[in-house]
């Protein structure tokens, strides 16, 4: 047996965006409507045909954009918006609406129906409580990479950039009916599952493929898709997949996040030949392999993002100092031309908006605000 599927890594710079949403009623409350939308007799719009699937709960649904081979901010915005429009129209035909957030503030997991799909029933049986309560919805960004070892190196390097991304995307303060005090409760709830969170560094694609294969052979996971790390080389799609952001109601937020992830991955791909780093870390803070901050420090950065959102600061890549989110955004916008990051920083965060609406107008107003129009 070989070291794993490497032949899928053939295309550099393509982009795909997966979004998870909530199926809700006219009042914006989660409902079990996915069976009709995914398995009903009525065909979905062509835009989302074969790009529609449900998730763990019958109130959660996922879409995928078509592969974007020439990503620009305008093109990404258009593809994300047109995919959402098709989903909204499809749901409306059956009397449902669509909402976007990392966690739905009105979702109480004990009162919601789980999917009947055998894959999810198996996960519920094996994982139990952490999966039974997993009402999360996220944004997953795939960027094509043309070499498997390059993909693993990029995934290693990308880890430091994930906590600031979580801060910018934080949109889930409420879970199971109460304010958690977190900016992204989704990220913490999801970490309750196995094989999640910040992955360790892999020295090569062969090492990652051996790990993936061993997890399958030893019956630790049922399929490759159960490696739910915040970033991973996707061995089926030939991509680096970033899975860290919360779900969103506003397509502009998703487009800005996807544009940045695309720019980051392409920039790292260009650095791969000589393994150059935008800011080489200090030896005292690096992994034993000599590449990047220790995982413990990366986990600390992620915790800061989960807890504080826009107010977080992070142990910097030199391992010797801290950097504010605003400074990081300025640095990345200047370095990569990712001006959408500044737009995200300048606007009210999803978490702050949810808390403000809940305090000012109550749950009904908040649920209405999360609707995807």
Nearest to 139 by CA among 50, 59, 252: 252
- Would you state the pLDDT for residue 280? 55
Encode 122-139: b = buried (16+ Cβ within 10 Å), e = exposed. ebbeeeeeebbbbbbbbb
CA distance 178 to 174: 5
- How many other CB atoms sit within 10 Å of the CB of residue 112? 19
* Residue 2 domain-assigned (yes or no): no
In a domain, 242, yes or no: yes
DSSP E strand boundaries for the chain: 15-24, 52-54, 60-64, 97-99, 139-144, 174-175, 178-179, 196-197, 228-229, 231-234, 239-242, 313-315, 322-324
Domain that holds residue 249: 15-369
User: Given this model, what pLDDT does residue 1 score?
Assistant: 31
Cα angle vertex 292, ends 290, 297, to 5°? 120
Beta-carbon contacts of residue 273 (< 8 Å; ≥ 6 apart): none
Q: How many separate domains does the chain show?
A: 1
Q: What distances in angstroms separate CA 364 from CA 5, 125, 361, one per listed residue? A: 48, 34, 8
Q: Per the domain annotation, does 328 fall within a domain?
A: yes
Task: Flag whether 38 is in a domain.
Answer: yes
Q: What is the pLDDT of residue 291?
A: 56
On whether residue 3 sits in a domain, the answer given is no
How far apart, in whole angstroms, are the C-alpha atoms of residue 347 and residue 119?
A: 39
| pLDDT at residue 67, as a whole number | 97
Per-residue pLDDT of the chain (373 residues; tens, 9 = 90+): 334 577 899 999 999 999 999 999 999 999 988 888 988 778 889 999 889 988 899 999 999 999 999 999 999 999 999 999 999 999 999 999 999 999 999 999 999 999 988 999 999 999 999 999 999 999 999 999 999 999 999 999 999 999 999 999 999 999 999 999 999 999 999 999 999 999 999 999 999 999 999 999 999 999 999 999 999 999 999 999 999 999 999 999 999 999 999 999 999 999 998 888 776 554 434 444 445 689 999 999 999 999 999 999 999 998 999 999 999 999 999 999 999 999 999 999 999 999 999 999 999 999 999 999 8
Which residues pair with residue 315 across a beta bridge?
A: 322
Residue 7 placed within a domain: no
Q: Both tokens of residue 314?
A: 């992070």
pLDDT of residue 13: 97
CATH number for the domain harbouring residue 26: 3.30.590.20
The pTM is what? 0.95
Any domain includes 6: no
Specify if 9 maps to a domain: no
């Amino acid at each position: 047996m070989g070291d794993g599927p490497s032949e899928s890594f053939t295309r550099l710079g393509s982009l795909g965006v997966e979004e998870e949403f909530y199926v809700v009623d006219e009042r914006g409350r989660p409902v079990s409507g996915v069976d009709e939308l995914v398995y009903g007799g009525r065909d979905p719009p062509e835009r989302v045909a074969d790009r529609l699937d449900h998730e763990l709960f019958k109130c959660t649904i996922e879409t995928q954009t078509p592969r974007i081979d020439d990503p620009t901010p305008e093109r990404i915005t258009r593809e994300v918006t047109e995919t959402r429009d098709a989903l909204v129209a499809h749901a409306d035909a059956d009397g449902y609406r669509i909402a976007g957030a990392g966690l739905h503030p009105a979702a109480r997991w004990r009162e919601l129906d789980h999917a009947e799909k055998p894959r999810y029933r198996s996960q519920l049986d094996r994982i139990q409580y952490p999966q039974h309560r997993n009402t999360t919805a996220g944004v997953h960004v795939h960027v094509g990479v043309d070499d498997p070892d390059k993909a693993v190196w990029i995934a290693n390097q990308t880890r430091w950039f994930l906590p600031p991304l979580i801060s910018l995307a934080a949109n889930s303060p409420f879970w199971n009916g109460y304010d958690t005090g977190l900016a992204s409760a989704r990220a913490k709830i999801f970490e309750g599952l196995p094989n999640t969170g910040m992955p360790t560094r892999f020295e090569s694609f062969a090492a990652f493929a051996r790990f993936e294969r061993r997890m399958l052979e030893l019956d630790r996971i049922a399929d490759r898709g159960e490696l739910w790390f915040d970033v991973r080389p996707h061995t089926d799609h030939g991509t680096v997949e970033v899975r860290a952001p919360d779900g969103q109601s506003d397509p502009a937020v998703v487009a800005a996040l996807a544009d940045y992830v695309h720019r980051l991955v392409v920039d790292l791909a260009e650095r791969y030949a000589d393994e150059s780093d935008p800011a080489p870390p200090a030896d005292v803070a690096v992994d034993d392999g000599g590449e990047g901050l220790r995982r413990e420090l990366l986990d600390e950065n992620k915790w800061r993002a989960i807890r504080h959102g826009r107010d977080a600061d992070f142990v910097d890549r030199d391992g010797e100092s801290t950097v504010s989110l605003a400074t990081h955004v300025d640095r990345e916008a200047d370095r990569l031309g990712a001006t959408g990051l500044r737009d995200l920083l300048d606007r009210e965060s999803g978490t702050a908006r949810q808390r403000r609406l809940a305090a000012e107008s109550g749950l009904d107003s908040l649920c209405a605000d999360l609707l995807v129009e």
